[in-house]
Amino acid sequence: MSIHLLSTITAAYLVPFQVTAASLLASRRASTPVTWHVFEPDMSPEDRAAIEAGFDGTAVAIAWHRYAQSQLADLPLSGRAAPGMYERIFAPDELPATLERVVYLDADLLVLDAIDALWCTDLTGSVIGAVQDAVIPFVSSPMGLRRHRALGLRPTAPYFNAGVLVMDLAAWRAHRVRERAFEYLRREARSINLADQDALNAVLHGRWARLADRWNVVGGLTGRGRLEPKGVEPDRLAAAARDPAIVHFSGHLKPWIYARLGSRWADAYADALREACPGYRVERSLTAATVSFYDRRLRTLLQPLERLAWRTTRYLR
């Protein structure tokens, strides 16, 4: 058996991807060969060499794939969207046709358990396996699918986070996910909240299998008590938070940019960052210190204001 992973990065994500890769290696319990397919538009030979150096002496091989961001230039770029965000929709169709399955991993992850169990997940005929988003649990949640009713979705239909995915590539191609997702993005450009994640939820509703929550624990908010979403079993999320397999630092507050964030896993990430990139230094500035203080001391208290801002953004655009 050989495991195939997929990630899409830019040069700006060199450091966090090295942390993701190093944490995955540190968590492996088997010597199963791994091929990691990495799509990128702008990595220098030095960048590639820095990543490859982290795999010296391991059973992991990098398969580099270069793409041009101009291929994605006609897709919506409002808000946080950037062309590279759509690469996870584009890339699966560019992989060899003989490849049956990949595990997609974002570059802002801390892997804490062996990936083998995730690779072997039974998708029971679904196109992908994913974790219900702990912050946006339903299509009707703030920052969910604004036009879920037009899609025929009930408000309580679950919404998944696209940072960790198990992909059945044959089913992906048969379902024409790339074509349908890009059509959705162009048609609904004015109603998109979270770019590629919106599109995947729109075209794969009813066709994704729910993975255990521990495979994609949101690092910034999950586990902060009053920040847990309504309608989701708190015991389920608490169990995942106690024993995460992958911690996902989604959102704006990244632990390789801001020191001492409020996440309970911030220290573990800082340790992994020092190990993977010993010469790297997190930004030290008044702005960075202010952001860190807000996240560490004030964010739980002010979370209702954040959610109000989400709703305002959702309905004013």
Whether the per-residue pLDDT at 223 is higher than 60: the answer is: no
Map out the domains of the chain as residue ranges: 3-316
What's the pLDDT at 316? 43
What CA–CA distance (Å, rounded) separates 129 from 301?
34
Entry pTM: 0.92
pLDDT in tens, 241-286: 899 999 999 988 899 999 888 888 999 999 999 999 999 999 888 9
What's the pLDDT at 31? 79
Say if CB 71 and CB 132 are below 8 A apart. Answer: no
pLDDT in tens, 3-54: 999 999 999 999 999 999 999 999 988 778 999 999 999 999 999 999 999 9
Comparing 71-75, 175-179, 190-194, 298-302, which segment has the lowest mean pLDDT? 298-302
* Best CATH choice for the domain 3-316 from the list 3.40.50.300, 1.10.1040.10, 2.30.29.30, 3.90.550.10: 3.90.550.10
Percent of the chain with pLDDT over 70: 90
**63-72, 106-115, 275-284: which has the highest mean pLDDT?**
106-115
> 66 exposed, middle or buried (CB, 10 Å; 0-12, 13-18, 19+)?
exposed
pLDDT in tens, 148-194: 999 999 999 999 999 999 999 999 999 999 999 999 999 998 888 88
